[in-house]
Structure 1
Amino acid sequence: MKRIKKNFLFLLFSFSTFMYAQKPTDVLVTINDSIYTVADFERLYNKNIDVIADESQKDIDNYFELYKTYKLRLQHAYSLGIDQSPKVQQEFAMYRKELAEKYFINEKELNRLLDEALERNKWEVNASHILITVDEFAVPADTLKAYNQAIAVRSEILKGLPFEDAAVVYSNDLSAKHNKGNLGYFSVFKMVYPFESGAYNTPVGAVSMPIRTKFGFHLIKVHKKRPAPKTKRIAHILVETKDKEQGDAQKKINEIYKRLEVGDSFFDVAFHFSEDIHTRDNGGDLGIYNEGTLNIDGISDILYELNFKDAYSKPFASQYGWHIVAVTDIKEQPEEEDLKANFLRKIKSDERSKVLEKDLMDHLKELYQFKVNTENLSKTVSLLNRTELMNQPKVEQTKETESVVAVFTDNQITVKNILDHIYSFPNKYAATPTDELLVKKAFNFYTLQKLKETYNSNLERNFPEFAHTLHEYKEGLMLFDLLEEKIWNVTANDTVALQNYFEQHQSNYTQPAHFIGEVYVFNNKSDAKTYHKLLKNNYTVKEADFPMVYKYQGRFYRNDKRLPENLDFNSLGKKVIKWNNLYYVFYLRDKKDSYEPAFEEVKSKVITDYQALFEKQFNEQLKEKASIHANQAVLNQLKTKYNKKNLN
């Protein structure tokens, strides 16, 4: 539900800034005394234009109707007080927190990380690793112990121990027992940032020094670096080995390969012969290939060498059987300008964000003219009551505890602030070995917290787009709750109305006829008739004795593309059927005619259909009660601008 809600809100209520042909403040429409401007309409239209599936909705007149409905539903939500509901308030607060985090960024460091990522994106690295685990927040002694263990393993490798053997013996990564530490090829953003940097910065053939990540220390051996491949859409043909001898599978894949060599299209050959039932009907299509997403032995190196459209490989074996893989479409790597927006989002969400946070804090200290009184900070150590730490002692207000440790803008941090913070979170600091280190850690943490709080409280004032996005998101939450309460829940629970709707539209839910069995396809009519006769009389038939073109088996519906059109299911199996100069023989094991299902069988589909009708009626009722006045002149200007643009 949470994912559905986020997608729903994204499509309807996230906005971008654009340039306008009209004045942004021009009134487009007045609805129940509320005024809506060109700027408001264009933000919504321009944001959603690329994700609208129904082309007719891109027409300004059609979209204007959707816009008015959207505003009417929002007005209704406000009138019901949904904006004040605890649920909306809570979710809004959570979203603000998430959105605010994206503003805690040092732009200079962000650009450095962006340039670094764009450069790394040009290359792929093939590497292995050995992991010595240690907790991210381990005490220094445990951290040192793990580091020294990693150094010792590295020394053995440099003295001649094969890296693969060392991975099996020493690595705490459980997968090393079967992959010997090999991670295959990867590129930027595929690994945690410190590991990625270690891999890209280690020369080919070398073993890195221990690289610290949140998992522990890694030794990385880089096997190869190669230019990043082009973007490829791929397809495959599979002959499985699970139910047949290896030799039989290899023989079959070689026969299939010969068909490609004499000019048969890959789509047709995959359609008729591939044993991958999930991709066969689409010509073996596997979609866009991304390194590491297909667990098929050997496919990475094979695909890397296929560098033009319609190229296909020789047969190769994997853990599933025998494959032939083809490139059905190919594109050059995107230009850097096209990658930047996506890369920026990734940088802000992965471990690079920790680098950004540190730089932000340095920036905030400078921005807010942060100054520390080291003498008073030292006093804090002497006032720390370490023996009573876990009892969370109360800090009395005295001249010493009110001493100022740091100042920034109109704020100050006192000794009491630091001690109160420590005693409020004793478990956070109890394991710190010395009082001096404890106070230092607490002061740094508390300082960063206060700087961020000050910065955070000014976001709406300093960043107008932040305030605007928050407002639109809140209204999105309101609208979602309105629809959930007034439409979705009402219709889903109204069993009488659902049953009536089903009875009135029962023909829409008719289940199609189908049969289960085999279909044999011949070029020669005589062969087809002979084969049909043998099957009809239950003779044991050797398929190898008959030169059939295709053989299909399984469950078949009328719209199956492999079957002749307009089949009479009642006559199937009784005679040979000719279609497109081929002859079809059917052997039926089971057959079901079309039938009218019971309500419970199709209840979920009925609910969806009834909800759509109920929502349409709900919208119409809002329009009937509303007072709507559109500025036709402004609307016509928008139509001229956008309808012409959409045609181009």
Structure 2
Amino acid sequence: MNLKQFFIGLFFLASFIGNAQNKSKEVLFTINDKPYYTDEFERIYKKNLDLVKDDTQKDLDQYLELFIGYKLKVNKAYKLGLQNNAPYQNELKSYRAQLAKNYFNDTKITQELVEEGYNRLQKEIRASHILILVDENATAEDTLKAFKKTEDIRKRALAGEDFENLASQLSEDPSAKDNKGDLGYFTAFRMVYPFENAAYNTPRGEISKIIRTRFGYHILKINDVRDNRGEITVAHIMILNPKPEEAEKDSKITINDIYKKIQQGEKFEELAKQFSEDKSSSSKGGVLNRFGSGQLSSEEFESMAFSLKNVNEISAPFQSQFGWHIIKLIEKHPIKTLDEMKSELETKIGKDDRSKKITASLNEKLRKKYTYKRDNKQFAALSKLVTNDFYESKWTQPENTKDYTATLLTINSKKIEGKTFLDFIDKQQKAGLKTKPLSKLTDDLYTTFLDEQLKTYYDENLENDFSDFAHVMEEYRDGLLLFDLMEKEIWDRAKTDTIGLKNFYDQHKMEHMWKRRVEVTVASSTKEDIIKKAQALLKKNTEPQAIKDKLNVNNIVNVMTNSGTFEEGSDALPKTIKYKLGVSEVFKEGEYYFVTNIKKIIPEGEKTLEECKGKIVNEYQQNLEQHWVDDLKKEFTVNINTAVFEGVKNQLK
């Protein structure tokens, strides 16, 4: 989801539930005499009622204020002409195309494909294959030749010849020379659909029938079938790989020290809080969100995580492209339920060869939905123009195309001229069609042309046929304009108005304060005698690394140190730390003994503008917007029909 979609969603969350009702509507309010009706207000209020967290937005009086403010901004956008900007028009067109996809589905067939895909996702298959290349549009002679070659190889495999040897010697898949045809484990939606069908319909240890894909002919041998591994939850401790300027940092030594402390019985979660450099998880004891195969950007991390068998099992240190890790298995989760995966599976189906089934069903539905008629005389004249040059992509349209502007196809009241069909034929040359004779070619081309024109007509009339589609498009149209307006009037101004931002900071800087901070070295150990030795060394101004070198002997990590400037309340500081300069007394928290050496105490104080700029900019934007709505109410005339609004309130309550 991009920023614009997220922003617009905060105002009006699009839904495909049919909310429209056939009832009378009244004018709720006007802006410069432009009416806004009760049905739109009620529909959007009901749609968002259970989604908003702010109770003020559930209050109808407050919600009306928000709604009027929203419409005022939209009116301002139109007044500035933002609707004429090419980027806006292109994005609106792109969004409509995405939204329209939901109306091109066959629910029954889609559900069948979802269930099939889900059932297949329960298993992972390991297969080897042999490929004989042949183009989708190859001649009948070349196609038969490739089929015969594949058939001969399959017979040899069925007769007992080693499949791997056949793959490495005869497969035309370039990778077969190295992997002997072995594709590893895969599950549904990882391979083209015909290939997947063969994989899931061939028993383990057997060789498939010959299958055809867009790449050519294949035969498969099913080597293994295993249950899908599902998802897992793990915790980890990570020490980042050193940056170029951190030449003295040795991540491997640090992670090994931490691992030794775990082996000595110290708690994984406490060590993660103290030392893990993954700040998004360290405060939670290193716990990560659950994930499944292929969902992480690190294959090393994923492989190690799934190799852990028992809850609370801990891995040895290992390195990924990000740094060094130790993983602890928290929980294993079975594969998601069908309901949980339904939306994801529908998206995958739309990008897969499976979608051809849905397309065929839609074509049949539209042929029944609309009245259409072909002018056979015009079609015959157009067909004669197509020559054998088409097969070599050299065919050109006649120079005088005005002779072919007569209507070829009528869909309801829409007339489509012959020139449109000629343009379609011209573009189809790139597809490399080899259908012969020419009369059969033009018949096939017209069939495809008809289906495309029916879908175009259907798409053009979605707003007329589906009220929910029209509503969502209206909301997005206005929301997109509002985003552009906010960017122009508020967000860019807050970033570039340095004087205004500085004045706002001066007025609110007491709200942005540093807590007390300390420049400190913290030493920790589970052994009181060790921490006392660390205390003595700190009093002698011994460097932290030297302390570790002296006390961590015989391959045992007795003490860890952490140095830096930390704000009061930081996870890096012991909770009972005393803010006093110098080396502290030894104190205990839980199972750990601590000693601190505070070199500097920085009192509470104002943050500079640079130190809190992100938050100040955000607050300045909110301030500008608040005053902006008041200015818009002065710029535009708003009249609320209070009697109608009272009726709406009574009805909604």
Give the aligned partner of residue 560 of structure 1: 570
When residues 106 and 64 of structure 1 are mapped into structure 2, their CA distance, relative to the original with a 3 A threshold, is: same
Give the aligned partner of residue 425 of structure 1: 427
The 3-state SS of whatever aligns with 2:618 is helix
CA-CA distance at 1:365 after TM superposition:
3.0
| 2:467 maps to 1:464 | yes
Q: Distance in 2 between matches of 1:133 and 1:286?
A: 45
CA-CA distance at 1:287 after TM superposition:
0.5
Give the aligned partner of residue 446 of structure 1: 449
Give the aligned partner of residue 583 of structure 2: 574
Summarize the alignment of residues 597-636 of structure 1 with structure 2, pairs less than 5 Å apart. Answer: 599=609, 603-623=613-633, 626-628=638-640, 630=642, 633-634=646-647
The residue identity in structure 1 corresponding to 2:620 is Y
| 2:484 maps to 1:474 | no
Summarize the alignment of residues 370-409 of structure 1 with structure 2, pairs less than 5 Å apart. Answer: 382-386=384-388, 389-394=394-399, 409=412
When residues 430 and 639 of structure 1 are mapped into structure 2, their CA distance, relative to the original with a 3 A threshold, is: closer
When residues 218 and 74 of structure 1 are mapped into structure 2, their CA distance, relative to the original with a 3 A threshold, is: farther
Q: Distance in 2 between matches of 1:323 and 1:282?
A: 15
Give the aligned partner of residue 102 of structure 2: 102
Paired residue for 1:291, among 287, 290, 293? 293
Paired residue for 1:256, among 241, 257, 262? 262
Counting matched residue pairs gives 622
Q: Distance in 2 between matches of 1:21 and 1:443?
A: 38
CA-CA distance at 1:132 after TM superposition:
5.3
Q: Distance in 1 between matches of 2:165 and 2:283?
A: 41
Summarize the alignment of residues 171-320 of structure 1 with structure 2, pairs less than 5 Å apart. Answer: 181-184=182-185, 186=187, 188-189=188-189, 192-209=192-209, 221-226=221-226, 232-236=232-236, 253=259, 256=262, 259=265, 267-268=269-270, 270-271=272-273, 279-294=281-296, 295=299, 296=301, 298-299=303-304, 302=307, 311-313=311-313, 315=315, 320=320
Is the 1:208–1:221 Cα contact (8 Å) retained in structure 2? Answer: yes
CA deviation map 1:82-140 (0-9, x unaligned): 4455544443333333333332233442233233234335x131334558596986645
Is the 1:257–1:315 Cα contact (8 Å) retained in structure 2? Answer: no
Give the aligned partner of residue 10 of structure 2: 11
Q: Which moved more, 1:50-59 or 1:103-112?
A: 50-59
Give the aligned partner of residue 646 of structure 1: none
Give the aligned partner of residue 551 of structure 1: 560
CA deviation map 1:366-389 (0-9, x unaligned): 444667799986775544245594
CA-CA distance at 1:43 after TM superposition:
3.3
CA-CA distance at 1:327 after TM superposition:
2.8
CA-CA distance at 1:615 after TM superposition:
1.0
The residue identity in structure 2 corresponding to 1:360 is L
The gaps in structure 2 that reach 5 residues or longer are 243-249
Q: Distance in 2 between matches of 1:281 and 1:394?
A: 73
The 3-state SS of whatever aligns with 1:521 is strand
CA-CA distance at 1:4 after TM superposition:
0.7
Is the 2:259–2:316 Cα contact (8 Å) retained in structure 1? Answer: no
The 3-state SS of whatever aligns with 1:126 is strand
Give the aligned partner of residue 497 of structure 1: 500
The 3-state SS of whatever aligns with 1:285 is coil
Give the aligned partner of residue 70 of structure 1: 70
CA deviation map 1:292-330 (0-9, x unaligned): 224236447546x66xxxx33364676657754323585
Is the 2:167–2:180 Cα contact (8 Å) retained in structure 1? Answer: no
Give the aligned partner of residue 455 of structure 1: 458
CA-CA distance at 1:611 after TM superposition:
1.5
Q: Over aligned residue pairs, what C-alpha RMSD do you find? A: 5.1
Summarize the alignment of residues 36-75 of structure 1 with structure 2, pairs less than 5 Å apart. Answer: 36=36, 39-49=39-49, 52=52, 54=54, 57-58=57-58, 62-75=62-75
| 2:93 maps to 1:93 | yes
Q: Which moved more, 1:441-450 or 1:205-214?
A: 205-214
The residue identity in structure 2 corresponding to 1:460 is E
Is the 1:129–1:221 Cα contact (8 Å) retained in structure 2? Answer: yes
Is the 1:211–1:218 Cα contact (8 Å) retained in structure 2? Answer: yes
CA deviation map 1:485-536 (0-9, x unaligned): 2222333332322232234334556667767875322456554232221244
The residue identity in structure 1 corresponding to 2:349 is I
Is the 1:102–1:348 Cα contact (8 Å) retained in structure 2? Answer: no
Give the aligned partner of residue 645 of structure 1: none
Q: Distance in 2 between matches of 1:259 and 1:136?
A: 63
CA-CA distance at 1:442 after TM superposition:
3.4
The 3-state SS of whatever aligns with 2:200 is helix
Q: Which moved more, 1:560-569 or 1:135-144?
A: 135-144
Is the 1:259–1:269 Cα contact (8 Å) retained in structure 2? Answer: no
When residues 222 and 620 of structure 1 are mapped into structure 2, their CA distance, relative to the original with a 3 A threshold, is: farther
Q: Distance in 1 between matches of 2:181 and 2:80?
A: 62
The 3-state SS of whatever aligns with 1:585 is strand
Q: Distance in 1 between matches of 2:138 and 2:427?
A: 18
Q: Distance in 1 between matches of 2:519 and 2:161?
A: 61
Is the 2:530–2:551 Cα contact (8 Å) retained in structure 1? Answer: no
Q: TM-score, normalised by structure 1?
A: 0.75
The residue identity in structure 2 corresponding to 1:576 is E
CA-CA distance at 1:201 after TM superposition:
2.8
Is the 2:583–2:597 Cα contact (8 Å) retained in structure 1? Answer: no
The 3-state SS of whatever aligns with 2:205 is coil
Is the 1:521–1:583 Cα contact (8 Å) retained in structure 2? Answer: yes
Q: Distance in 2 between matches of 1:56 and 1:567?
A: 42
CA deviation map 1:123-179 (0-9, x unaligned): 131334558596986645887787778777767766554659957996857799689
Paired residue for 1:365, among 364, 367, 375? 367
Is the 1:313–1:326 Cα contact (8 Å) retained in structure 2? Answer: yes
Q: Distance in 1 between matches of 2:431 and 2:599?
A: 72
When residues 51 and 14 of structure 1 are mapped into structure 2, their CA distance, relative to the original with a 3 A threshold, is: closer
CA-CA distance at 1:240 after TM superposition:
10
CA deviation map 1:589-645 (0-9, x unaligned): 9998888676566655443332221111112333466444555645654775xxxxx
When residues 43 and 137 of structure 1 are mapped into structure 2, their CA distance, relative to the original with a 3 A threshold, is: farther
Summarize the alignment of residues 635-646 of structure 1 with structure 2, pairs less than 5 Å apart. Answer: 637=650, 640=653
Q: Distance in 2 between matches of 1:519 and 1:344?
A: 53
Q: Distance in 1 between matches of 2:152 and 2:521?
A: 63
Give the aligned partner of residue 521 of structure 1: 524
The 3-state SS of whatever aligns with 2:288 is strand
Q: Distance in 1 between matches of 2:155 and 2:520?
A: 64
